[in-house]
Structure 1
Amino acid sequence: MIDTPIISVIGLGYVGLPLAVALARYYRVIGFDIDPERVAAIRRGEDRTGEVEPGALVESALEVTAKPERLADATVHIVTVPTPVTATNEPDLQALFAACATVGRALRPGAVVVFESTVYPGVTEDLCGPTLERASGLKAGRDFFLGYSPERINPGDRVHTVDRITKVVAGQTPEIAHELARIYGRITSGGTFIAASIRTAEAAKAIENAQRDLNIAFINEVTMIFNRLGLSVHDVLEAAQTKWNFLPFKPGLVGGHCIGVDPYYLAHCAQAAGHEPEIILAGRRINDGMASYVAGAILAALEAPAGTAPRILVLGVTFKEDVPDLRNSKVADLIATLRSAGAEVAAHDPLADPAEAKALYGIDLEPDLDEIRGFDALVAAVPHQAYRDMAAVRLADLVRPGGLVADMKGIWRTRALPGTLRRWQL
């Protein structure tokens, strides 16, 4: 047992930084990131993700560094690097393997390496363990030990924070599992749950997001059905959710680093085991195709002047409301589809980093809505609070008379619009 652990957190993004700050209230914590600019910003009390308040960063005892040699002090290493998918939707574990190599070179006998990154069952023990062994010259299960504790960070969620949720933990031995439960148990009021094995914990994480993806896919599919019938899915859902056990999922674009990615990890694992997943991939096909469906519906509803390219303004490009996270944003797919159909598309987002939007998707964000107007269509793609609060007269400033207000998420569905505007919604 590690009586007084020194903990390193590798990767200080949406997951790693809030975890490191929470742990630093009780332990000595070394936060490591390969980006020196990210480290410098954290030292100044700045968190571009918005997950940690500036005051909490300034007051935290967390040590932050971009120097891998500093990891040698740690007895418990927690890896929180991204695990995305490739262009062909295969698991991309390159960042995970790079983190293993970095930790392995600093690993000392008796240490524990815990993974929070989303993976499929077997990755921690069958892939990460050997990578750590090669880098360290030590043997997993004898000289150092493995653990897994799936992250459950929900960007922008101020209720289900890392210090309030139940943390699932698993260890290579029962002793390691209980040690991790003790460490994590100090930082959360939600308690801990010891999974039967590391593979069990990995599988639990994979199905948490796959289940949510499937529920949204169902709603997206019935949205398409109801649109053909001339019904608003929002009206239908409003009636249906009066039943006590109806699940209140909403239609829309499904992106982000978890829900839009994790089902592919589960599908990859299933195929490797000789099972062809049907429901999981069907849900992915529906959700991945939603941007094209919405683009087609908006273009069909447009009444642009003949012989001109329709001018469309898209509000919001992050993957969800009230967060700056642009990872795997399906709004980018929506914009690309509209442009490929010949539309001139402008985009605005009060939270997204303009340089990041340009680098990731080639999207130039409009700096100020006050300087633009006269669009053929206004698309509310991401319901940021700033957009939810927009008055009808403000919408009319942006759209020409006879233009279209495409309210994807139904944020203005109860708001009376000027008679000069037309309305479309899912």
Structure 2
Amino acid sequence: MSISQLMLSSLLAFAEPPAGYAEAVDELEAAAEQAKRSTSAATIDRLEQAVEGVERFPMELAIDTKGHEQRAFAQLSLARLYLTQGDEGAAGRVMDDAIFGIGIAPLPIERFGPTLGDFYERRLAALEALGQATLAVDCKVACGIYVDGNAIMGDEVSLYLGPHLVHVTSNEGDPLTRELVLTLDGARIEYGQGFASAGDDSLAHGELSATQDTRLAWGKMERPIPRWKLAGVGVSGGVFLASIGVGLGFGMAVRANGSVHEELITAAEESLTDQKPSNDIDPNSKGDLCALARAEPSPDDSGAVTNAEVTEVCNKADVYASVGSAMMLIVAPIAAVSTITFGLLLNTHRVPKTTAKALRRHQPGLVVAPRRDGGVFVTGGFRF
């Protein structure tokens, strides 16, 4: 999948949630509340339908953190109800769906007690034992890919084996919705030209146009903001602030009246009152205290220093100064440039190339060929 497809998948995902989605989330919350008071078959059926209802809006669900949490809570409630009814198979199916759909966030399993917690651990261990496989989506047009209610940034993803709900959307054709069972062989979906297939399953969808060319454009920030852009700004900005803070802190520590400077003065003063007259370093000396402390006591004491305690503080000051300089002169500028770059990328996105799109639609052509009797033959074509 190209960068334009990745960006467009984020653009497709950002839209005002339709009334249907808001109503589906409200029904999901109401059904989950009912499940706290009732274990009847009607309650189970309502909760099943509520979960399915909110999953009909993959784009909205993918960017709605609260909706994600409510779905996970409802699925765990449903698994608990099935366990209460003694239907461990159905409970396992729902628990697997919850594990598939939660993404990288943790399931709120601690809110349901030890019984469901133990069941969750068993199901997770079973999924781990089965392993994972790759689901690849080959989009012939710019598209958005959603698996189990999560936006996929890229053209393939590694998933646990089992049933997964896949949605592929594009502004150039009808969306594709399919539940497929992922095996160790993996699965591949082709979207945007003819028919899409995953394994032996045929996934029909509407006719789509040819592959869309795009160009970079500056303008309104795309929503939702791609996570890699946010991560870039956040990490580089954090490194910039941290490097400035460390650089200033270490620099101030070795300046006059700084903590390390005060430590140096204290060590020099203590040398005047200890039992070693040979290591005296006068803190009021106009010379470099560190040079005095590091000087060899005599030519016969090669490698020795006049005052080890003061020398140790001087070595510490050198480290502080080196680190502070590196942070201010190397790390901070690099992080600043990186932060600015990612900040600019926040307002850079892909838009269709209208000229290329028109040429593909109308397919102009020109043929020039020599004639046997002299001259040339010229003909052209244009599709309406």
Would you call these one fold, judging by a TM-score over 0.5?
no
More relative contact order in 1 or in 2 (CA 8 Å, sep 6+)?
A: 2
Structure showing the higher helix proportion among its residues? 2
Taking structure 2 as the reference length, what is the TM-score of the superposition? 0.28
